[in-house]
Structure 1
Amino acid sequence: MMRRDKTNYVIQSVAHSLDVLEQFFGEADELGVTELSKRLKLHKNNVFRLLATLEARGYIEQNRASENYRLGIKCLHLGRRYIEHMGLVRQARPILADIARKAHESAFVAIVRRDGVVPLEAAEPDDRVVRITPPIGQMLPLHCTAIGKAHLAFDPEEQLQASLPENLERFTAQTIIERARLLEQLHCVARDGYSVDAGEYFEDVSSVAVPIRDYTRSVVGSLAVAGPCYRIPADRIRHELAPLVVEAGRELSYRLGYNE
């Protein structure tokens, strides 16, 4: 018996509602009916009804001042539930809290998605007035973040070569944009077991990261400590933070079933 294509079961109105939500995945925080109508190639009346339905369920809310629409609190709740179900985050929480307390710096865990890396959960120190707040849920580049380099360094050689474009984007004066130089650094990361980003993506922010593995022995995430550059010089990384993060990475990997 032939299996029917699942597209036969698509409900058009539901698809349009999801199309509306996906318009907010980009840089626009708020969008109006006219802009959404243009983007979706739908009549304004249809767009308005879709927005009204989503607003009634809490997935969209209207800014009364601008009359534009933005994502509602239900989207946050749904996203949080997704994250809660991921074993990586559940297991990471107590470890992140412990690192933040010991290092007096922010700690966070991230995963790779497509061609970027996404921080999922963080813990911040209680005793710092100036502290780094990781951009939870934001896609960050692989080549100039410690959490990204922790993934790249342990990719198979063919996959690594395919992951790196010939022209690497510059974000700060410290960003490494020479492919050969970055590859050399990644080989050092694989040797040392940890990666460093010293103001390469966020200016004046340094971070140290390690890969996280699970029972499949695959790298499934990365764990990092981050703080202002003036608090994280090279000698502190080498003698204090790197050993701390490496040990935390081992513990988290062990909790996920990895056995060295």
Structure 2
Amino acid sequence: MRGPRSRDLRSLPGVRTASAARRRPAATLQRFNEHTVTDFDTLLCRYAEIRRDGASTSHGEYDEAVTAVATPVFHAGSITASLTVIGLAHRVSRVAGQLTQLVREAADEATTAFGG
């Protein structure tokens, strides 16, 4: 359940269309380590998953030692902020699913506080 969100992420437009993304050279996506997504098709798939799920989890994509869970906060139908839990991968990765649910619930409360 998504709670009081005034807009589901699935209704938001994609960051880029697939055709526009494919025209950009792969060199524009900086690689930080072997987990960093640098392929536009893969990135577009990730965006679609995030819009569908309403949350994002990063397992070492920027810093291999870090896992992060983030979900949006809405106001007036737009994403205004995000709530994020970030921590050492060896502690956060094993509970990322539970944290995702908790962060979603907190973001829903923040959305309500902002007036949706």
The normalised TM-score by structure 1 is: 0.36
Shift in alpha-carbon separation, 1:173–1:185, aligned structure 2, 3 A: same
2:84 and 2:103 in contact (8 A); partners too: yes
Give 2:41's aligned amino acid. Answer: A
Match of 2:99 among 224, 235, 241: 241
1:220 corresponds in structure 2 to 80
2:43 corresponds in structure 1 to 182
Shift of 1:218: 0.4
Equivalent position SS for 2:16: helix
Give 2:42's aligned amino acid. Answer: R
Match of 1:191 among 46, 52, 65: 52
- Residue deviations 1:90-131 (CA, integer Å, cap 9, x gap): xxxxxxxxxxxxxxxxxxxxxxxxxxxxxxxxxxxxxxxxxx
Shift of 1:203: 2.6
Moved over 4 A (4+): 152-155, 162-166
Equivalent position SS for 1:161: coil
Unpaired segments of 5 or more residues in structure 2?
1-8
Number of paired residues?
A: 102
Shift of 1:210: 0.2
2:65 corresponds in structure 1 to 204
2:74 and 2:114 in contact (8 A); partners too: yes
Return the alpha-carbon distance in structure 1 between the equivalents of residues 30 and 71 of structure 2. 23
Return the alpha-carbon distance in structure 1 between the equivalents of residues 99 and 10 of structure 2. 19
Equivalent position SS for 1:177: coil
Matched, 1:251 2:109: yes
2:10 and 2:52 in contact (8 A); partners too: no
Return the alpha-carbon distance in structure 2 between the equivalents of residues 199 and 232 of structure 1. 11
1:161 corresponds in structure 2 to 16
Unpaired segments of 5 or more residues in structure 1?
1-151
Return the alpha-carbon distance in structure 2 between the equivalents of residues 253 and 199 of structure 1. 28
- Residue deviations 1:66-102 (CA, integer Å, cap 9, x gap): xxxxxxxxxxxxxxxxxxxxxxxxxxxxxxxxxxxxx
Return the alpha-carbon distance in structure 2 between the equivalents of residues 209 and 154 of structure 1. 18
1:154 and 1:219 in contact (8 A); partners too: no
